[in-house]
Amino acid sequence: MSALLVLPTYNEKENIPNLTREIFALNLDIDILVIDDNSPDGTGELVDRLIEKYPRLKILHREGTLGLGSAYKSGFHYALEHDYDHILTMDADFSHRPKYLPAMLDMGKDFDLVIGSRYVPGGGAQNWTIMRHIISRSANLYAKTLLGIKANDCTAGFRCYKRRVLEAIHPETILSSGYSFLVEMLYRCEAKGFTVGEVPIIFIDRFAGKSKISKNEITKAIKTVLRLRFLG
């Protein structure tokens, strides 16, 4: 059995060719599934062409911008329908650098969930504005305090799940469809007693393309944590 890397994209045409090249150059036992939400910049069509070059590259074309959490759900559904033992997620903007993938997979042998973490010794974030540091730190503190999450980086999208975690959690039942999907998923993992390990990573903010995080996503994340705290 091999691993599936779920890679959500929305307007990542400047990143996706180099990113797929770097990942496949690592020669890991990994398939990549791009989940593209009909990116206006043509990321989806670009990936269709790259598939001719890389047999282990796949794409799911979706009709419109359905959100990051919903993209993960589609990817997890695909992984469970196929024979993958580990399911990885990462951003397509090089913030999560491919060089950490071997360490993530290695730790994934011993832990049910591995997080590529900014907030453990050796980890960090570079090229961020002060505001972005404050938002990220506050989001983590807020989620950890209200939900009692033990992991240090609750909002990281760089992860490696064992198949059995997804089988037990039923990701389609997660209510968040945006960025807060990540917090909800982690909360449920810990609540079910799955083990969580963290690989220190230096997160570098994107150089190409634009961030899709918005005020609306931040408000939704605040509400999600309150819902989980008071309604479970």
Ligand X SMILES: Nc1nc2c(ncn2[C@@H]2O[C@H](COP(=O)(O)OP(=O)(O)O)[C@@H](O)[C@H]2O)c(=O)[nH]1
Report which of 63, 60, 65, 70 is spatially closest to residue 175, judged by C-alpha positions.
70
Shortest Cβ contact with ligand X: which residue? 211
Residue 171: name its binding partner from ligand X, Mg ion, none (Cβ under 5 to 8 Å by kind).
none
Query: CB-hemisphere CA count at 13 Å for 177?
Result: 5
Q: Which of 6, 47, 89, 95 binds ligand X (CB under 6 A)?
A: 95
Q: Contact region for ligand X (CB under 6 A) — 35-43, 79-87, 99-107, 116-124?
A: 35-43
- 3-class SS of residue 3: strand
Amino acid identity at 145: T
Residue 32: strand pairing partners: 5, 57
Q: Which of 2, 211, 214, 219 binds ligand X (CB under 6 A)?
A: 211
When asked if residue 9 is in the footprint of Mg ion (CB under 5 A), the reply is no
Q: Which of residues 57-116 bind Mg ion (CB under 5 A)?
A: 91, 93, 95
Give the shortest CB-213-to-Mg ion separation in angstroms. 8
Dihedral Cα 2, 112, 106, 151, nearest 10 deg = 140
When asked if residue 185 is in the footprint of ligand X (CB under 6 A), the reply is no
Residue 41 token pair: 């910049």
Q: What does DSSP say about strands 57-61 and 202-204: parallel, antiparallel, or unpaired?
A: unpaired
Q: Where are the alpha helices (DSSP H) in the chain?
A: 16-25, 43-51, 68-81, 101-107, 130-147, 163-169, 181-191, 215-231
Q: Which residues are CB-contacts of 227 (< 8 A; sequence separation ≥ 6)?
A: 175
Q: Contact region for ligand X (CB under 6 A) — 18-26, 31-39, 103-111, 192-200?
A: 31-39
Q: Which of 31, 37, 112, 198 binds ligand X (CB under 6 A)?
A: 37
When asked if residue 190 is in the footprint of Mg ion (CB under 5 A), the reply is no
What is the residue whose two structure tokens read 């390990």? Answer: 197
The rounded distance, in Å, linking the Cα atoms of 96 and 101 is 9
Binding mask 49-88 for ligand X (x = CB under 6 A): ----------------x-xx--x-----------------
Q: Which is nearer to ligand X, 10 or 111 (CB)?
A: 10
When asked if residue 219 is in the footprint of ligand X (CB under 6 A), the reply is no
Shortest Cβ contact with Mg ion: which residue? 93
Which residues of the chain form contacts with ligand X (CB under 6 A)?
8-10, 12, 35-37, 65, 67-68, 71, 91-93, 95, 206, 211-213
